[in-house]
C-alpha cells in the first residue's frame, strides 16, 4: 500500500474516533475509498482458497453428474452432489487454521461477506424447495442466476472486471438454459462456474501475488 494512502486511512480512522470535525478534500476522500478497495482486493485474493475450492468442487461435480447421467445412465447420478460435504469440511478446517492470524477488515469486506452469506442461504433454500416439488430440471437456472448476482456485486465493489464479465456470461447462460434440456443445463452450470468463479478467482489471486 502507498504511504499516502495508509496515512490517509489512519487520519480518517482516528478523526472518527475522536469525533473531530475536520473535513477532507475530495482527493483525500477518494484516496481513502481506494485504500479500502485495495485492502478488500487483497483480503479476497488472500482468502481465495474458499473461492477456488467451491468453484472447482462444483465444476468437477457437475461434470461428474453429466457423465453418470448421460453416459453411464445411472439413476443415482444426483448422489454425486454429496461431494459438497468435502467443501464444508475443508472450509471449516481452513477457517480454524486462519483464525489465529491478524486480519484487517473494512466496511467493504463486511458488505461482500454479507452478500455471499445471503446467496448461500438462498441456495440452501432452493435445494429445499426443489426437493419438495421434484422439479430439479429448473434448479441449475436459478443457481447460475445467484452466482451471477454475487459475482456482479463483488466485481463492481472491487472494480475487478473479470468478475463482472463472468457474471454477465452467467446471465447469458441463464437465458440459454431456458431453451436447453436438464442434461445440458448441467454442463451450462459447469461453464458458468468456470467463467464466474474459477477464472476470475485465479486472476485475482495472481494479481495479489504480483502486488506482493
pLDDT tens for 125-158 read: 998 998 888 778 788 999 999 999 999 998 888 7
Q: How confident is the model at residue 13 (pLDDT cuts 50, 70, 90)?
A: very low
3-state secondary structure of 158: helix
Instruction: Check whether 20 has a pLDDT greater than 50.
Output: no
Backbone CA torsion sign across 42, 43, 47, 52? negative
d(CA 129, CA 134): 8
What is the average pLDDT value for the chain, to the nearest integer?
A: 79
Question: In terms of residues, how long is the chain?
Answer: 212
The mean-pLDDT minimum among 112-126, 140-154, 175-189 falls in: 112-126
pLDDT in tens, 103-115: 556 677 778 888 8
Please state the pTM of the whole predicted model. Answer: 0.73
Amino acid at each position: 500500500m502507498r504511504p499516502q494512502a495508509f496515512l490517509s486511512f489512519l487520519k480518517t480512522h482516528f478523526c472518527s474516533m475522536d469525533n473531530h470535525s475536520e473535513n477532507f478534500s475530495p482527493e483525500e476522500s477518494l484516496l481513502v475509498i481506494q485504500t479500502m478497495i485495495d485492502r478488500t482486493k487483497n483480503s479476497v485474493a488472500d482468502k481465495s482458497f474458499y473461492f477456488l475450492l467451491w468453484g472447482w468442487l462444483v465444476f468437477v461435480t457437475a461434470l461428474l453428474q453429466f457423465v453418470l447421467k448421460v453416459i453411464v445412465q445411472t439413476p443415482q447420478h444426483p448422489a454425486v452432489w454429496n461431494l459438497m460435504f468435502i467443501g464444508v469440511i475443508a472450509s471449516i478446517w481452513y477457517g480454524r487454521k486462519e483464525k489465529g492470524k491478524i486480519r484487517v477488515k473494512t466496511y467493504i469486506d463486511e458488505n461482500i461477506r454479507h452478500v455471499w452469506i445471503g446467496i448461500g442461504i438462498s441456495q440452501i433454500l432452493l435445494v429445499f424447495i426443489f426437493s419438495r416439488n421434484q422439479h430439479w430440471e429448473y434448479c441449475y437456472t436459478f443457481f447460475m442466476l445467484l452466482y451471477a448476482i454475487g459475482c456482479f456485486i463483488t466485481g463492481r465493489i472491487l472494480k475487478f472486471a473479470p468478475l463482472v464479465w463472468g457474471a454477465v456470461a452467467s446471465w447469458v447462460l441463464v437465458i440459454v438454459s431456458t431453451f436447453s434440456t436438464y442434461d445440458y443445463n448441467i454442463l451450462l452450470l459447469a461453464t458458468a462456474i468456470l467463467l464466474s468463479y474459477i477464472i476470475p478467482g485465479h486472476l485475482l489471486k495472481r494479481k495479489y501475488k504480483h502486488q506482493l
